[in-house]
Amino acid sequence: MITSINTPLAIKTHGLCKQYGQSFAVNQLNLEIEAGQFYGLLGPNGAGKTTTIHMLTTMTVATSGEAWIAGQNIEEDPVATRGIVGLVFQDSALDRTMSIDENLQFAAALYNLTPMQANKRIDELLAVFGLQDQRNKKLLALSGGQRRAVDIARGVLHKPKVLFLDEPTIGLDLPNRRAIWRFVDRLRREEGMTIFLTTHYLEEAAACDHVDFIQQGLLQKGGTPTALVQQLAETILEIDTEQPQIIADQLSPLFGEPIQEDQQLSFKITASDVDFSALQKTLGDSVSAMQWRRPNLNDVYLWRFCAPDSTVEKQ
């Protein structure tokens, strides 16, 4: 076991487990994330993403295993660990009856920033988020996107080395989601912090340097989003049909078994020389729509978690 604290790793875990009764929320997690990385952990609801974040931020104690944040063993000194991590919770951690300023001043004092340091930092962050004119507004008077921005500002007040974002854009509309990502990107560039992200919006994870997957508490190694997409397939073929079973039987020998969702079939095609126009003619009236396109991270996710069965993987 390597426990050297000289490694530049922002996050390192070794056999990290969290057990609730008989079931493992997280099972034997081994992670090594380099400083400055934008890391994404993807997986279905209840897969163990939030539990992982809560263990790494000392919000819950691991049942077994060890973890280090920037060389700091988290179990040995949880208080010091909390000083170097930032966490934006899935649900807001702000007091809705207080103003932006009161919330951030309160959080800054909890991080032991002097009022002067706090004011300077709050000015800086509100400028990044474009909220400098709303400083004395009550949280209740803000939009969902603005509240989330304040939540993120709260998470980075103390310039953490590692920022954990647990579904940061959940429940936000597209413009707000994009705005949040612009802010996060700016924070990364300007402050060089490592970011650990969980999200359901996979197009957001495409910006990550590295993504891994987690299911039923078990980590499945991923890679860079680009490599994962390339490895998955050359083309994704989607067919809408009223006779999915017949089409599936007809095409499976060629392309492998598809993912079936109601009347839609989705094939992953690794060959690069398929003549789709000819295929369309062959299938004729039995399909109501057919499209072929480049795969994306959504497809990687779907084929990992919704693949028809293991026989597909053997082909």
Would you tell me which residues interact with other proteins (CB under 8 A)?
20, 45-46, 50-51, 54, 57, 59-61, 79-80, 82-83, 85-87, 89-96, 98, 105-107, 109-112, 114, 154, 158
Secondary structure (3-state) at 206: coil
Count other C-beta atoms under 10 Å from residue 69's C-beta. Answer: 28
Contact in structure between 42 and 212 (CB atoms under 8 Å): yes
Nearer to other proteins, 106 or 292 (CB): 106
Distance between CA atoms of 3 and 32, rounded to whole angstroms?
A: 12
Distance between CA atoms of residues 303 and 310, nearest Å: 11
83: Cβ contacts below 8 Å, ≥ 6 apart: 111, 158
Nearer to other proteins, 115 or 282 (CB): 115
Beta-bridge mates of residue 287: 241
CB of 103 to other proteins, least distance (A): 8
Q: Which residue has the tokens 């509240």?
A: 147
The angle formed by the CA atoms of residues 202, 158 and 105, to the nearest 5 degrees, is 105
Count of all residues that appear for the chain in the document: 315
Q: Which is nearer to other proteins, 112 or 282 (CB)?
A: 112
Dist CA 113 CA 105 (whole Å): 9
Show the tokens assigned to 159: 């310039």
Q: Which is nearer to other proteins, 64 or 311 (by Cβ)?
A: 64
User: Is 156 or 233 the residue whose CB approaches other proteins more closely?
Assistant: 156
CA distance 88 to 125: 15
Considering beta carbons, is residue 42 or 248 the nearer one to other proteins? 42
Shortest distance, position 45 Cβ to other proteins, whole Å:
7
Would you say 107 or 228 has its CB closer to other proteins? 107
Sheet holding 259-261, edge to edge: 259-261, 264-269, 235-241, 287-293
CB-nearer residue toward other proteins: 104 or 297? 104
The least distance separating other proteins from the CB of residue 137, rounded to whole angstroms, comes to 16
Q: Residue 205 and residue 226: Cα distance in Å, rounded?
A: 11
Q: Which helix (H) or strand (E) holds 295?
A: none
Task: Quote the least distance from Cβ 178 to other proteins, whole Å.
Answer: 24
